[in-house]
Structure 1
Amino acid sequence: MTELSYEAVVRTLRTAGCVFAEDEATLLLQSARSTDELAAMLERRVAGEPLEVVVGWASFCGLRIEIDPGVFVPRLRTEFLVDEAARLVELVRLVLPSDEPVVVLDLCCGSGALGVALAETLDTDVELYAVDIEPAAVACATRNVAPVGGLVLQGDLDEPLPDHLLGRVEVLLANVPYVPTRVIASMPTEARDHEPLVTLDGGPDGLDVLRRVAELAPRWLAPGGHVLVETSEGQADDACAAFEAAGLTARVAVDVDREATAIVGTLLAD
């Protein structure tokens, strides 16, 4: 096969509608080990597969997170959940110093990116548990979580968690699906056709899974513990109401630069 030049790859990507064709071409050329592999990767990308799936990894919080086909790709805006969680942990440990590991639970973990990034960010030991319902995600997350010593479990939200975690979790991260069902059809092809529906579809108003997380969180959180979820600006009020109905205090956190909206729920100490 004739060698594919950088310019040829850029033209092909641009024709396919890739907005960042130059950056993508560079990454594809760096990742491919042969001209044939480059051609195959380019064909997959033009067909709509997420770039991160094509090259096998995503950049998240400065880390290289492995991504397999059929696994949700972590978005840049979701880094805000990690930043906010790290800030909260550091505040608590400043007021109440402890040598004990921070117990972190990552629900709907996908690739495991959030839990791994938080463990790598914190300047203290972390006891990490991650859960996903999708076998492909569990296999992928297991590889990503291994370097930080975490445990990945397969099941529906908290169903597979061991009882010894009850009342011990200091940070619960949940990158829940929050796209309303009726909106799925209008999403970009690379998400709609190449990521599991269960990672996108949040039900009629997008908050079905978020409400379930709000309901289960108080059982697992330690007093003063936090649960953080991503949502949209328009869903924030209803999401806060769901947290408050479950007995948590709730506030909205916003990162304008990353266009990220998060809900932070806290289990107040008695």
Structure 2
Amino acid sequence: MPVHPVSSFSATVATLRRAGCVFAEDEASLLHEAAASPDQLASLVEHRVAGLPLEHVLGWAEFCGRRLAVDAGVFVPRRRTEFLVAQAAALAPRRAVVVDLCCGSGALGVALATEAAATLDRVDLHACDVEPAAVRCARRNVGGLGQVYEGDLFDPLPVGLRGRVDVLLANVPYVPTADVELLPAEARVHEPRVALDGGGDGLDVMRRVAAEAPEWLAPGGSLLVEASERQRDAAVEVLRGAGLVPRVVVSEELYATVVIGTAGRGRVKPCRRYGPADHVKR
């Protein structure tokens, strides 16, 4: 059913409440702020009532205190993932090489690079994603902070990064396949499945990342991944099995579980291998 044009704040709140929006007042404020006219407001409200994520309706998401572009069809960064960024910032050396795998909108890498700018000398940021829509969005957000590549996991990264990465952010999909259909419609319908589905136990992509991570990490460098509470022990074993030293940090406030795997400092760096990835894509 089409939504009738609305112009008053109270009318917008009432419309959103009828549609089941829990935070109707907050959402109404943001929609009124975004609309340049009553007709545009009616259009935004109609899209929200139809079930589009608020971030897709607005065209941005707030993450680590910043508004970052989030286009339709792009994974929306979760607030709990701010905890992962905070852990990464604490681990980054003053001259940090940072890689953001499965970057989506690029939110994690951008937040780390900008947050750390006050305390670090330099952040060399590289981000990549397999989804073309995500890559386009990430390039807008990353801008001059770094480089964004399109491809599967490590494949598109410059080979010269091997053995040099200080912080490897990998916000991989970790929802078990059987649980994807149980997700809220906002995620299940409007976000790419490749950003949600982690395979049978939810750890398939994490295993792939962990298997290759040691040859990309610098001595003492760390891989940071997010997992559910029930996956934490299995995730620890995945990282340990890859030769990394694992530990778990938890935020009860944000309901966030981050597993960190650190490379040994005494190991020999892998030999540089040359190939097509030396040529930066686009």
TM-score, normalised by the number of residues in structure 1? 0.94
Equivalent in the alignment of 1:142: 139
- 2:86 is the alignment partner of 1:83: yes
Question: Letter of the aligned partner of 1:71 in structure 2?
Answer: V
Question: Counterpart of 1:134 in structure 2: which amino acid?
Answer: E
Cα RMSD after superposing both structures = 1.0
Q: Distance in 2 between matches of 1:160 and 1:147?
A: 19
The alpha-carbon deviation at position 37 of structure 1 amounts to 1.1
Change over 3 Å in CA distance of 1:218–1:29 after alignment to 2: same
Query: Residue deviations 1:66-87, cap 9 Å, x none?
Result: 0100100000000011000111
Quote the Cα distance in structure 2 between the aligned partners of 1:206 and 1:16: 32
CA contact (8 A) 2:5 2:42 kept: no
Residue 269 of structure 2 corresponds to which residue in structure 1?
A: none
TM-aligned CA deviation for residue 36 of structure 1: 1.2
1:257 to 253, 260, 277: 253
Residues 1:103 and 2:97 aligned together: yes
Secondary structure of 1:252 counterpart = strand
Equivalent residue for 1:196? Answer: 192
Cα deviation for residue 151 of structure 1 reads: 0.3
Distance in 2 of aligned mates of 1:63 and 1:182: 34
Distance 1:25 1:70 in 2: 22
What CA distance in whole angstroms lies between the structure 2 residues aligned with 1:63 and 1:227?
A: 24
How far the C-alpha of 1:4 sits from its partner, in A, is: 1.8
Identify the match of residue 76 of structure 2 among 62, 73, 76.
73
Number of the residue aligned with 1:176: 172
**From 103, 113, 117, the counterpart of 2:107:** 113
Partner Cα separation in structure 1 for residue 64 and residue 144 of structure 2? 16
Say whether 1:151 aligns with 2:147. Answer: yes
Distance 1:211 1:173 in 2: 14
Deviation at 1:33, TM superposition (A): 1.0
Q: CA deviation at 1:219?
A: 1.0
Instruction: State the 1:3 CA deviation.
Output: 4.7
* Aligned position for 2:39: 36
Distance 1:18 1:236 in 2: 32
Q: What SS does the corresponding residue of 1:214 show, helix, strand or coil?
A: helix
1:225-240 correspondence runs (5 A): 225-240=221-236
Paired AA for residue 232 in structure 2 = A
| Structure 1 residue matching 2:142: 3-state secondary structure | helix
Give, in whole Å, the separation in 2 of the partners of 1:47 and 1:213: 36
The alpha carbon displacement at 1:88 in A equals: 1.5
Task: For 2:5 and 2:204, locate their aligned partners in 1 and report how far apart those are by CA, in whole Å.
Answer: 51
Q: Distance in 2 between matches of 1:15 and 1:247?
A: 52
Which amino acid in 1 is paired with 2:52? E
What is the total number of aligned residue pairs between the two structures? 260
Select the residue among 12, 17, 24 that pairs with 1:14. Answer: 17
